[in-house]
A and B are shown apart, each in its own frame.
Chain A
Amino acid sequence: MNELCLRAIGVARRRGATYADARIVALRHQYVMVEDRRIPSVQDSDSLGLGVRVIAGGAWGFAASASLTKAAIERTAAQAVEIARASGLAKAPGGVRWAKEPVHVAVFRTPVGRDPFPVPVAEKADLLLAVSREVLKVRGVRKCHGYMQFQGEHRWLATSEGTIVESETITSHATYTATAVDGTTAKTRTFEAHPANAGWEHVAATPLLGEARRVGEQAVAKLKGKACPVGRRDLVLHPSHLALTMHESIGHATELDRVLGMEESLAGSSFATIDKLGKLRYGSPLMNIVCDNTMPHGLATRGWDDDGVEGQRWPVIQNGILIDYQTGREVCHRIGAARSRGSCRADSWSSIPIIRQSNIGLEPGRAPLSLDELIADTRDGIYIEGMGSFSIDQKRQNFQFGGDCFWEIRNGKKGAMYKDVTYQAITTEFWGAMDAVCDARFWQPYGVNNCGKGDPMQVARMTHGSAPARFRKIRVGAGTR
């Protein structure tokens, strides 16, 4: 495959490209679905193709093809150069600036205990059916949906600078949802082996079956839950919930392409503009946000990004102050950085690399603090687990989030369940209200495997970790009444 990539680069260079990279990507995806006592769908797909990206005349061109014949490779590379020439009609002043990166020649592979693809489909179906049967035993539960999916990505990347890297990642994910129905409404509760770069052992180690009764019972309990109060409450947020809050209000807001307006036409931009770098108080002094593309099992951990930049670990918010961004080679110079942070990824051979969220998360608190102690220290609050409704404006300021399961906290005790809770805030006010973070014993990663961005739309994966944290006097209930 490396030779095919180099052939494409050679054609592009001969046609005038000042920079070229070629990626061949082999994708495999397997999906097993359960609905109640049936397996309605088992699908297994693969895809292979080549994407060629060039800078010619100071402008970008990209072309992709599913064919890897000599003629197709040469045609695709030539098209990329032709497209770049067209882009030159409206190129940025001075053309594309491309940051230096050491040459890498290496291989990365996700450590996998048991490759999930050879695991028999019957074994997967049996587990899903067993879970579903158990969920449906709970009185009041009328539905169980679930699925397992496994993604394999084998990527060969070569650049005209001499980088030749190969990475092979495997992602495993299993999830199910119980739906309880009564005379007036329906409520759901979800449990999952969150998406992780790992093999079947990740699914096997998650108590999917062991938690099925509890999940079903909590779906039923939600039906009888109290209505969300309207007003201000302290929120204690579990890592399974904070993952999405961080994703939307920090992860996207610190992507430098968005900050610079390059995503304005679709996903939007960011309030965290570069004039605020080093100055913006994003949150409380307890807020330390770190990107880590070397994180074991992280969905964005793959050795090198699609700019050929090595995976790195770096802080973007330190003691509540914005100090860095997630960057790529094209844009890092805009904040005075000589080297990219390595955050550029494409979701397929047919997609152009764009800045995507890294594995980005909240560092645990330094003082010993357990979740139980945090709840015990909260007088009038709400404890939230899991992901639910989520919406945020295009500059990542005004947001509203729900969750999967909610409990009242009254005088330090976790009490009755709420049926639905939403909270609204402005990003910096919300993070400014964080006054406690549990310690490293309670830090947990959660994968997000459906992050949409780009135009044409691409879907990326990344992991967000945190320990439970508390946010004081957040506005709740505006979305439920």
Chain B
Amino acid sequence: MTRTQAFGIIRKVLKIAKADAVSAGVRADTNASTRIADNAITQNVRTESQGLWVEVAYGKRSGGASTNDLGDASLRAVVARAQQIAKVTPPDPEYMPPLPGAEAKRYPVVSAFVPATLAQTPMDRARVLASAAAGVRRRRLRLSGAWSTSGTWSAFGNSKGLRAWHRLTYAEAHMTVLGPAGSGWAQAISTDAGEVDVAAVVAEAAGIAVRAQHAVDLPAGKYDVIMRPAAVADILGFVLWGGFDAKATDERRTFLRGKLGRKVFGDNINLRTDPGDPRCPGWPFHGDGLAAKPRFWIRNGVVENLIYSRYWAKKKRKAPTGWPTNTILDGQGTSVDDMIASTKRGLLITRFWYIRDVDPMAPTVTGMTRDGLFLVENGRIVKPVKQMRFNENLVGVFSRVEALGVPVVSGEWGGMVVPPLKVRDFTFTSTTRFG
């Protein structure tokens, strides 16, 4: 979808709609993904989709509708549906009118679109995976994973003249290599498919898998841990998404109640958003057209900002922030090898799995380690151990960080920029039956 096509649709919607305020968004996506399991391609898909959403308001009554049919008749129908809903919906005291056109001047410059990413063909992906699988098979291992590329084109417009446009590409490979009694995992993410070296990802996962075979039992308890970046990304989201909503915090429903401006985490914790960061670009604007600006959430352990909607920001006389469109945890530069070398007894964690809140007010979470857990003794990895369940307080975890490495892009859902961490006294409460 081109910018001209997208804004053409928005123009039509704004013309059709008869309301006090109108906002509309158009989006098109193309997704291609090749999945492999047990050294064979099991799934190979390509999807093209598109969509339009419309929100209209009469005074403080608003309603929304969306469709993926962008024909003229459908545009009229979706506008009519939104209008119909808005007319019968009770007035919302927290309704905020559309932003003015000048908001677009505040958008950060974000470069996130690499056309070559979309030139990848099914045959390109299959060749890479077939070659990788053959190599893994020769080592009597098994390869599972997915190699995916996507493109997104998005336009926004409202009846106050605000217009926004963004496009991005995304390339991601995650690979699990399995031996008879243990597995390893690795991942690479970029806007540029050319920068995702699938063979290197497979090699890294295979290296972990080979070391992970025949894990032994280790009792649960407190251990110093070295978390590779994927593990850090897995738990970090529970800090930011679980506690930083300003309205919930002001209503005393999050663990950060009364803590804005106070030191909560360790001095070495700096958590921020910067949509323009080329390592993991974020959207330059939010769903309502609000500019996404760089800002710290935690600086030197102090809670510097909460997440303010436009309504709550107005009520509290704060600047609206919207939800973070990317997440960066600053690092310091200690390598994983140095973290291992400085550890008398601890565990090296490849990644976590199935983390869930236990008590969001504490905030405590539980989850499992996955795809390579290793005992470190006297500065060396000595043996793989069976996977463990942890129950931890996240404020405690991010107050006991002893070393931070070089940040990289990692994570399950679009990625964050995070360093590996060394954390003191991490609590494991049980073990499972495999490595």
Contact = CB atoms under 8 A, between A and B. Distances in A.
Contact of A42 (B67, B89, B174, B370): B89
Contact of B430 (A86, A120, A263, A398): A398
A49 B429 CA distance: 47
Contacts of B92: 38-40
Contact of B127 (A89, A120, A424): A89
A124 to B, nearest CB: 10
A90 B389 contact: no
B39 to A, nearest CB: 7
Contact of A62 (B44, B89, B361): B44
A89 B144 CA distance: 15
Given A392-B354, A456-B31, A398 B46 contact: no
A441 to B, nearest CB: 33
B261 to A, nearest CB: 20
A351 B31 CA distance: 11
B38 A38 contact: no
Contacts of B316: none
A423 B166 CA distance: 46
B178 A43 contact: no
A47 B67 contact: yes
B300 interface: no
A204 interface: no
Most buried by B among A89, A185, A268: A89
Contacts of A479: 358, 364, 366, 391, 429
Contacts of B196: none
Interface in A137-190: 142-143, 179, 181, 185-186
Interface string A462-481: 00000000000001001110
A129 interface: yes
A459 interface: no
Interface stretch (A2-10, A77-85, A232-240): A77-85
Interface string B86-127: 001110111000000000000000000000000001110111
A90 B129 contact: yes
A64 B46 contact: yes
B88 A394 contact: no
Interface string B17-49: 000000000000001011111111111111111
Contacts of B123: 85-86, 89
Contacts of A62: 43-46
A154 to B, nearest CB: 14
B133 to A, nearest CB: 5
A358 interface: no
Contact of A426 (B40, B142, B433): B433
A45 to B, nearest CB: 4
Contact of A261 (B49, B144, B354): B144
B271 interface: no
Given A89-B130, A422-B366, A426-B432, A79 B391 contact: no
Interface stretch (B7-15, B58-66, B395-403): B58-66
B430 A478 contact: yes
Interface string B63-77: 111111100000000
A275 to B, nearest CB: 13
A29 to B, nearest CB: 9
Contact of A420 (B46, B148, B359): B359
A268 to B, nearest CB: 7
Contacts of B88: 120-122, 125
A44 B122 contact: no
A398 B89 contact: no
A289 interface: no
A49 B49 CA distance: 8
B213 interface: no
Contacts of B40: 90-93
A260 interface: yes
A195 interface: no
Given A62-B44, A391-B354, A398-B432, A143 B370 contact: no
Nearest to A32: B89
Given A43-B64, A261-B178, A391-B367, A60 B44 contact: yes
B355 interface: yes
Given A261-B142, A390-B356, A121 B85 contact: yes
A206 interface: no
Contact of B66 (A43, A83, A389, A478): A43
Interface in A353-409: 354, 389-395, 397-398, 400, 402
B159 interface: no
Given A60-B43, A90-B129, A456 B252 contact: no
A197 interface: no
A295 interface: no
Contacts of B199: none
Given A38-B94, A84-B44, A393-B387, A46 B67 contact: yes
Given A179-B253, A262-B37, A40 B94 contact: yes
Contacts of B53: 45
A402 B358 contact: yes
A61 interface: yes
Given A395-B432, A398-B389, A86 B122 contact: yes
A87 interface: yes
Contacts of B429: 400, 424, 478-479
A455 interface: yes
A265 B45 CA distance: 16
Contact of B85 (A42, A61, A261, A402): A42
A181 B354 contact: no
Contacts of B154: none
A337 interface: no
Given A40-B94, A83-B45, A86-B121, A389 B366 contact: yes
B357 interface: yes
B380 interface: no
A389 B357 contact: yes
B194 interface: no
A82 B92 CA distance: 51
A235 B183 CA distance: 34
B278 interface: no
A90 B44 CA distance: 11
Contact of A44 (B48, B64, B357): B64
A321 interface: no
Given A45-B65, A271-B433, A480 B146 contact: no
B432 A264 contact: no
Given A83-B44, A90-B126, A398-B432, 8 more contacts: A62-B46, A64-B48, A65-B48, A66-B68, A85-B123, A262-B38, A263-B37, A265-B175
Q: Which 7 A-B residue pairs are closest in the complex by CB-CB distance?
A: A398-B432, A86-B122, A90-B130, A264-B144, A92-B40, A86-B126, A45-B66
14 contacts: A47-B68, A60-B44, A66-B69, A67-B48, A86-B34, A86-B125, A89-B130, A121-B88, A352-B45, A391-B367, A394-B370, A395-B434, A455-B33, A455-B146
